[in-house]
Amino acid sequence: MITTKKVVTKADYKAFVTFPFQIYKDSKYWVPPIINQELATFDKNKNPIFNDAEATLFLAYKNDKLVGRVAAIINWLEVKDQNIKKMRFGWFDFIDDKDVSKALINEVYNIGKANNLEYTEGPVGFSNLDKVGVMTEGYNHVGNMITWYNHPYYINHYEALGFEVEKKYSESRFPFSNVTPDAFLKAQELIKRRYKLKPLSFTKTSQVMPYADKMFDLFNESYSELSSFVAITDIQKEYFKKKFISFINPEYINFVVDKDDKLVAFAIVMPRFAEALQQIKGKLFPFGFLKLLKAKKESKDVMFYLIGVHPEYQNKGVHAIIFNEYFDTFTKKGIKMCYRTPELEDNEAIHKIWKHFNPEVYIRRCTYKKLL
């Protein structure tokens, strides 16, 4: 018999966050989250997203054994301000038992219907800076710290539940040896002169912080046309700065400004922490923090996390300036492989940016939708 339980106590939250450690314990491709960070994500006193969203977490049990979890999420900015009557769900994991996935998703349906929402979509997080999508290809590749990994049987469950594919995403990679300055060196000099632009690079995190809020503002502007985009609020900016900036080498953050020092483009690259995260098994202490610090300094693989260009400068080759800066940095650091985070397959603009590097799609994923 399958029973579901709403997450209420500290023990419940710990069980929710650590459940994937149970079903992926034998996987060499799954990358564990940092447990304390995951707990903070659902802490209303720490995560400001709860000023504009709500989440109800559920655990599923079979014969008193924990066998699944799901987060039922409503982003009220999306529902009220954008009039998108969507019930979100994420952190959806389960054993290969369709009664388990059905019991959990029924809890999502019930909340959506009680709030007069029209459909549910997932797996997604609270916002566009959260993880997205269930893997449909690439199960034999190591994941990233900012994506979900899942067993192949998940797809059968979504289909059995009557879901249909809503959005498709791809993740790609390319050897740094594919990158030659011929593709952007001359172009970036021309673009800098034509539009009176200049790049900003950093050596200390303290140098980045004065521009951080402007970066999030530009993120909101540059991504606003994408489907299901929800803007980052001012209070969320502070949260994301604390959550992400410490993981990023300052030399991996590049900005482009105009003659008035207005930010027109940005890019954030992160060391690929996958191997270190697998080693520390979700725990920063006593030695996990040191392993992450070592990976931050020594990793020869990098992940392009975000690239944003102001709408007025899109399709004008501004990314060439950014790539030129990274080429010098990556050459000095001996970078071997470049990875990209999930990108919508119908986002032609972003695919054009990368075409010169001959990227290989190695993971595909999607979100699923169902009317309520």
The pTM of the full predicted model, rounded to 2 decimals, is 0.93
Q: What is the per-residue pLDDT across 40-94, written as a single tens digit (0 to 9) for each?
A: 999 999 999 999 999 999 999 999 999 999 999 999 999 998 899 999 999 999 9
Q: What is the per-residue pLDDT across 123-178, written as a single tens digit (0 to 9) for each?
A: 999 988 789 999 999 999 999 888 999 999 999 999 999 999 999 999 999 999 99
Q: What is the per-residue pLDDT across 211-244, written as a single tens digit (0 to 9) for each?
A: 888 888 898 888 777 666 777 888 787 887 777 7
Q: What is the per-residue pLDDT across 257-271, written as a single tens digit (0 to 9) for each?
A: 999 999 999 999 999
Output the six-digit token pair for 30.
């799954």
Backbone angles phi, psi at 139, to 5 degrees: -65, -20
> What is the predicted pLDDT for the residue at 56?
98
Q: What is the per-residue pLDDT across 318-347, written as a single tens digit (0 to 9) for each?
A: 999 999 999 999 999 999 999 999 999 988
> What is the predicted pLDDT for the residue at 220?
85
CB–CB of 121/369 below 8 Å?
yes
The number of angstroms, rounded, from the C-alpha of 68 to the middle of its chain's C-alpha atoms is: 22
> What is the predicted pLDDT for the residue at 159?
97
What residue ranges define each of the domains in the chain, with the CATH number in brackets?
Answer: 2-170 (3.40.630.30), 175-362 (3.40.630.30)
Average pLDDT score, the chain: 92
Q: Where would I find the H helices in 283-361? A: 288-298, 319-333, 348-354
CB–CB of 69/59 below 8 Å?
yes
